[in-house]
Amino acid sequence: MARVISSRNLFSFIKSAFVATGFSDSDAEITADLMVQADISGQAGHGIFRLPQYIKRLQEGGMNPTPKFRILKQRTATALIDGDNGIGHLVMRHAADIAIKKAKKCGVAWVGARMSNHAGPASLYTRYVLNNNMIGIYVAVGSANHMPPWGGTDLLLSTNPISVAIPSGVNPPIILDMATTVAAYGKVKTLLQSGGQMPKGWMIDKKGNSLTDPAKSGDGFLLPIGGPKGYGLALVFGILAGTLNNAAFGKDVVDFNADNKTVTNTGHFILALDIEAFMDLVEFKSQIDIVWKEMKSSKKLPDILEIRLPGENLARTIEKKKALGIEIPTPLFTKLTQLADELSIPSLT
Amino acid sequence: MARVISSRNLFSFIKSAFVATGFSDSDAEITADLMVQADISGQAGHGIFRLPQYIKRLQEGGMNPTPKFRILKQRTATALIDGDNGIGHLVMRHAADIAIKKAKKCGVAWVGARMSNHAGPASLYTRYVLNNNMIGIYVAVGSANHMPPWGGTDLLLSTNPISVAIPSGVNPPIILDMATTVAAYGKVKTLLQSGGQMPKGWMIDKKGNSLTDPAKSGDGFLLPIGGPKGYGLALVFGILAGTLNNAAFGKDVVDFNADNKTVTNTGHFILALDIEAFMDLVEFKSQIDIVWKEMKSSKKLPDILEIRLPGENLARTIEKKKALGIEIPTPLFTKLTQLADELSIPSLT
């Protein structure tokens, strides 16, 4: 059972909720817009689903509704910004703006952030860079540790995701958005709700045995892609997005699902790369169209209907959800109705 | 059976071989030094093992012994260089020098290269950046396609590797150097020589069945790490290192194992990130030592003796091989003796 809500109403509701917890109008709009973008992109685990948790964190003092961003250090092509414990969406949108501006001049820019928070899906920020005709790369320290170092059992690493967005010509842009684990933790949670079992290879328990019951996920941990390789990626991504920015990494990472009060000091970085520093933009886009065509026309394995490029279905999903609305599962809808009461704002309709 | 050769003699032999095929003394020294570094680092598949092939390519006109590098485009933090069909080692050492210089000023720099060739292991160049107290990131288009897009069977992608090198304080630096496939193709070749079978998950055939006999590797292809995720990484790395630099990618990639004549137009990029643009260098290194300690002290899975960090054993391997010499398997030694005769240079001793 689910209610279908228009993206416009979703936006208004999220905006009202943030304004009611102390956000300025414009900050509430930027955040609501990014969260709706997550929902209409089919990344439901990172959209309005997170709102009750964000609001709780704001109410219990774990997140600052009126952050003042500061540039702690900068050179012509880099910056380190302090997010003043604001929501990650605002911090990383601001970081992306700085990166785009610097990359226009220098060709490339790398902007790191500390004292930030959960920012939703990684591709929100690379797509923003992409809209400026640049290539975007984003990496974050995940907001809860679900993985040990390879061979270990202590949860010291998160799913530390990466997104890369690359513009193309007549085809949709290539948008990679992936965790460095075989499955993101959200997928485990979704299976728990739907009553399904996990495939082997997603998780193991502390004795090294395969773990397939999502209800027992607390007894084990996520496995990295490619074994030690994915561990290596999660480690170096965590250092680049966390340690280098003086943000939390390793045992300092606060589980933001379990704790609404402790400052998370989340770290991320965004890189903007100006295509025109390497190649004429139109020529590059037509080259990417050739890559598209080559990949799509490959012969296929038996039973495979279609070869896809990362992000291929995004435009279609967005169009569909913009036209038909976003499905809100009943348990979430009930939660959001309670939230509306609590904040004295109009209910979601 | 193997012969053990000192790194000094290995260097002299490689240098002589390149001088005999037209390299300048200094170019021969830089290339020989980097190839010996690969061998003493335990990356035997990328060291002197490749020399006969490089020499053949030089002799048959597929590679230019006297390249003149040109900067095709540049901004303050980026450059695109044309390697004039020189060996990748020289091109990427040059690219790294430019990146380091630009990053010292701008904080970060991204240098792409086209018209290059095979450059040995990815970590040679990130370690070079690391020696300048910076973080290095290197990505290349591999020199032969061994992987289709996910769900396909046409070999359009290579193992497109990434290396990231991060300095630490009292511990060895963290050096990730990995293919985006479960196994690098060199590992398949090694198993073919030793007569072993491949574990399931390395390769499948064109019908999607597991392929474990390395003698049949030509009937199938390598699998990416994390399934579609590794495919996504190989794809975007290939675009960033290849397409963006107007270098070969997709079906244009020349199989340099099978073809010594055709210009490969290999693409790579190197990124240098100046730690001091974000944090005091000493403080950063001590933070990385804390990361080291945390990972190493994690509780372990049963039967796991030690948790390792990427690159942990490198310093030990180098020390050992510097002291004891490098083992050259007899078939390779025979090939190198023939090469010496052919080039009229002193044999390897």
Q: What percent of chain B has pLDDT over 90?
A: 93
Determine whether the interchain pair B77/A76 forms a contact, defined as Cβ–Cβ distance below 8 Å: yes
pLDDT range class, residue B86, cuts 50, 70, 90: very high
Contact status of A215 with chain B (Cβ, < 8 Å):
no
Rounded CA gap, A104 and A93, in Å?
17
Chain A hits for B275, Cβ within 8 Å: 244
As a whole number of angstroms, the distance between CA A186 and CA A44 comes to 10
Q: Would you state the pLDDT for residue A186?
A: 78
Dist CA A289 CA A310 (whole Å):
14
B295, A75: Cβ pair inside 8 Å? no
Q: What are phi and psi of B75, to 5 degrees?
A: -125, -175
In angstroms, what separates the C-alpha of A292 from chain B's closest C-alpha?
A: 10
For position A203, what pLDDT does the model report?
Answer: 96
Residue A204: enclosing H or E segment and its boundaries?
strand A203-205
Establish if A323 touches chain B: CB-CB under 8 angstroms. Answer: no
Task: Inform me whether the C-beta atom of residue B68 falls under 8 Å from chain A C-beta atoms.
Answer: no
Q: Is the Cβ pair B135, A73 closer than 8 Å?
A: no
Residues B156 and B253: their CA atoms lie apart, in Å, by 8
Give the minimum alpha-carbon distance from A195 to chain B in angstroms, rounded to a whole number: 24
CA–CA dist B153, B150 (Å, integer):
8
Measured between alpha carbons, how far is residue A185 from residues A198, A199, A220, A330 in Å?
11, 13, 12, 21
User: Would you say residue A2 has pLDDT above 90?
Assistant: no
Judged by a CB distance cut-off of 8 A, whether residue B274 touches chain A is yes
Q: Is B10 helix (H, G, I), strand (E, B) or coil?
A: helix
| B249 touching A (Cβ < 8 Å) | yes
Sorted by sequence, the CB contacts under 8 Å of residue B106 that are 6+ apart come out as A75, A76, A77, A78, A106, B76, B77
CA nearest to A309 within chain B: B232
Interface size between A and B, measured as CB pairs under 8 A: 250
Residue to test with chain B: of A104, A105, A108, most B Cβ within 10 A = A108
Query: With an 8 Å Cβ cutoff, is B310 touching chain A?
Result: yes
Q: What is the mean pLDDT of chain B?
A: 96
What is the value of ipTM here, to two decimals?
A: 0.97
In order of their start, the domains of chain A are 1-59+322-349 (1.10.1530.10), 66-181+225-280+304-312 (3.30.1370.60), 184-223 (3.30.60.50)
The answer to which of A15-24, A30-39, A105-114, A209-218 has the lowest mean pLDDT is A209-218
Confidence of residue A343 (pLDDT cuts 50, 70, 90): very high
Between chains, do A298 and B244 touch, taking CB under 8 Å as contact? no
CB contact under 8 A, B236 and A148: no
Are A71 and A80 in contact, with CB atoms under 8 Å apart? yes
Residues of A in contact with B106 (CB under 8 A): 75-78, 106
Q: Do A244 and B148 touch (CB under 8 A)?
A: no
pLDDT band at B195 (very low <50, low <70, confident <90, very high): confident
Distance CA A188, CA A219 (A): 13
Tell me the percentage of chain B whose pLDDT exceeds 70. Answer: 100
Q: Could you count the other beta carbons within 10 Å of the beta carbon of residue B324? A: 11
- Distance between CA atoms of residues A141 and B307, nearest Å: 21
Chain B residues within an 8 Å CB radius of A302: 207-208
Looking at beta carbons, which residues of chain B come within 8 Å of A110? 107-108, 273
Is residue A229 within 8 Å of residue A237, measured between CB atoms? no
Q: Which of B78, B272, B62 is nearest to B167 (CA)?
A: B272
Q: Confidence band (pLDDT; 50, 70, 90) for A283?
A: very high
pLDDT at res. B289? 98
For position A190, what pLDDT does the model report?
78
A300 contacts: CB under 8 Å, gap ≥ 6? A306, A307, B151, B152, B153
Joined tokens for residue A32: 């609501």
pLDDT: which is higher, B315 or B132: B132
Between positions 132 and 191 of B, the ones with CB within 8 A of A are 135, 148-154, 156, 164, 166, 174, 176, 178, 182
Q: What value does the mean pLDDT take over residues B108-129?
A: 98
**pLDDT at site B194:** 79
Q: In the structure, what pLDDT confidence band is assigned to residue B189 with cuts at 50, 70 and 90?
A: confident
pLDDT at B258 over 80: yes
In whole numbers, what is the pLDDT of chain A averaged over residues?
96
Contact B75 A148 (CB under 8 A): no
| Cα B111 to Cα B323: distance, rounded to the nearest angstrom | 35
Nearest to B298 among A153, A243, A278 (CB): A153
Q: Which of B278, B290, B291 to mutate to test the interface with A (most CBs of A within 10 A)?
A: B278
In Å, how far is B62's CA from the nearest CA of chain A? Answer: 25
Q: What is the pTM of this model?
A: 0.97
φ/ψ of B213, rounded to 5, equals -90, 115
Subunit contact B106:A106, Cβ cutoff 8 A: yes
pLDDT tens digits, A178-228 = 999 999 887 888 788 778 899 999 999 999 999 999 999 989 999 999 999
Give the pLDDT confidence of B204-241 residue by residue, as tens digits: 999 999 999 999 998 999 999 999 999 999 999 999 99
The DSSP 8-state label assigned to residue B304 in this structure reads -
Q: Which residues of A touch B150 (CB under 8 A)?
A: 307-308
CB contact at 8 A, A116 and A247: yes
Residue B229 forms contact with A (CB below 8 Å): yes
- The whole-number average pLDDT for the span B33-61 is 95
Q: Is B293 on the interface with A (CB under 8 A)?
A: no
DSSP A147: B
Question: Two tokens at A45?
Answer: 């685990």
Which of A106, A182, A202 to mutate to test binding with chain B, by most B CBs within 10 Å of its CB? A106
